Amino acid sequence: MRRAWRREWRRIAYVLLLGFLGGWMFEAPRLGLIVAISLYVLYNLRLLQWLAQWVESPKQVELPDAGGVWGEIFDQLYAMQRRNKKRKRKLASIVAEFQASTAALPDGAIVVSSRGEIAWFNNAAQALLGLRSPQDNGQRIANLVRHPRFADYLEGEDYEHDIEVPSPLNEQYTLSMRLIPYGEGQRLLIIRDVSEHKRLDLMRRDFVANASHELRTPLTVLRGYVEMMEPEAQGDGELRAWRAPLREMAAQTVRMEALINDLLRLARLEGDTVAPRNEPVDMPSLCERSIEQARHLSQGRHRINADIEPRLWLYGRESELQSIATNLVSNAVRYTPEGGDITLVWSELGNGAVLRVRDAGIGIAEADIPRLTERFYRVDIGRSRASGGTGLGLAIVKHALEHHDAQLAIDSVVGEGSEFSCHFPAHRVHRERARVVNG
């Protein structure tokens, strides 16, 4: 560019010199200079006009071979144009490749604009939702997937979890949908057919429920015989030698019964949907019943306290809420050494409610806490079994809480005790009005 400027200055000097000499020959050097400068300005204006036309329609206008600074500018503009074309081609091929690969994805993918309209979709989405190309481009996605759960999901901001909705083409099929926000308000909707997975899950659940149910009858027979023989073994009769084995058999049948009951309860919980939101459950009475159960289990070995908000009720399923409280207090009793304190608190927290079961028991190491709600996860298997545990209690609690849109929080210090808190959201809370007693 510097060389071009040097040439330009030289050109200006020649023009001025020519103007001056030409004018001088006619004894008017000043006029010659003015004419030369005007011609130079006109020449520049013409090139500027040329450039403006080129910028407007670069395909129709060709820039002249101007030399000097203009020539350099024109050359650089052409080089820039070539580079841009190359970049455009490269981007177009990347987009084409991306579209081809997403089109081949087994999962449906739909680009949803900030206004909720379909901007693009792949073949799988077309097949899963019955979309038509190109008619459905620009259609509102909520008009095509008309399920209240999907409408809530689309309107809300919580895209952490996916949702399951029946397929709009066939109610028998279940689609899992997940929105992934990106850019400015755009979202990518990923759709997967989970019908097969759901079917297998249902089969597994049915199998566990049926197997548990089938085991119940033979176990009842066995227990009956063991109970019949036990008193015989206490005396000096023939069964005297079987005293210890019969006691062990009785204990094991009780344990098996507890296991079968918990398995059945868990299978039932998995089969049930969200608990009703219009049936208020008397939580204060339910908590009192759990306290009674805890006292019965403890047999006076612990100090059991309760702090229960008398008018705080919950919308939900009574049997499941009872399961939550019973499991938590029975764990507190089983994992707290003699003389320890156990407290149940039922109170308001913000607009919601919280059920806390606190104990001064053995506590749980931090590393074990995230795994406690897994089926059959026990910190100490021997201790759990010895105290009559099935390893399913907290899994039942977790499922029952999910049905009530509630969360479980566990705080614990090894050797000091634990606190299990169930947090219920505001929409589950029902406040009973104080009853007016007449007379």
Residue 344 binds to ligand ADP (criterion: CB under 6 A): no
Of the listed pieces 56-64, 152-160, 186-194, 356-364, which binds ligand ADP according to CB under 6 A? 356-364
Contact between 329 and ligand ADP (CB under 6 A)? no
Type of residue at 155: E
Binding of residue 378 to ligand ADP (CB under 6 A): yes
Q: Name residues contacting ligand ADP, limited to 381-400 (CB under 6 A).
A: 384, 389-395
The yes or no reply on residue 380 touching ligand ADP (CB under 6 A) is yes
**What minimum distance in Å lies between the beta carbon of 373 and ligand ADP?**
7
Binding mask 410-429 for ligand ADP (x = CB under 6 A): --------x-----------
- Minimum distance from CB of 379 to ligand ADP (Å)? 3
Residues in the chain, overall count? 439
Provide the β-strand partners of residue 423. 354, 407
Cβ–Cβ under 8 Å, residues 118 and 131: yes
Instruction: Please select the residue that binds ligand ADP; options are 36, 110, 267, 364, rule is CB under 6 A.
Output: 364
Identify any residues that bridge with 408 across adjacent strands, giving them in sequence order: 422
Give the burial string for 186-221 (b: 16+ CB within 10 Å, else e).
ebbbbbbbbbeeeeeeeeebeeebeebeebeeebee
* d(C-alpha 163, C-alpha 161), whole Å: 7
Q: How far is the CB of 319 from ligand ADP (least distance, A)?
A: 18
How far apart CA 195 and CA 172 sit, in angstroms, is 8
Q: Which helix (H) or strand (E) holds 37?
A: helix 29-56
Tell me if 312 sits within 8 A of 347, measured CB to CB. Answer: yes
Taking CB under 6 A as the rule, does residue 223 contact ligand ADP? no
| 133 versus 252: smaller Cβ distance to ligand ADP | 252
Q: Using an 8 Å Cβ cutoff, are 373 and 397 in contact?
A: yes
Residue 212 CB, nearest distance to ligand ADP (Å)? 16
Q: Which stretch binds ligand ADP (CB under 6 A): 194-202, 268-276, 286-294, 331-339?
A: 331-339
Q: Which helix (H) or strand (E) element contains residue 412? A: strand 407-413
**Contact window for ligand ADP (CB under 6 A) among 59-67, 97-105, 245-253, 329-337:** 329-337
Residues making contact with ligand ADP (CB under 6 A)? 327, 331-332, 335, 359, 361-362, 364, 372, 377-380, 384, 389-395, 418
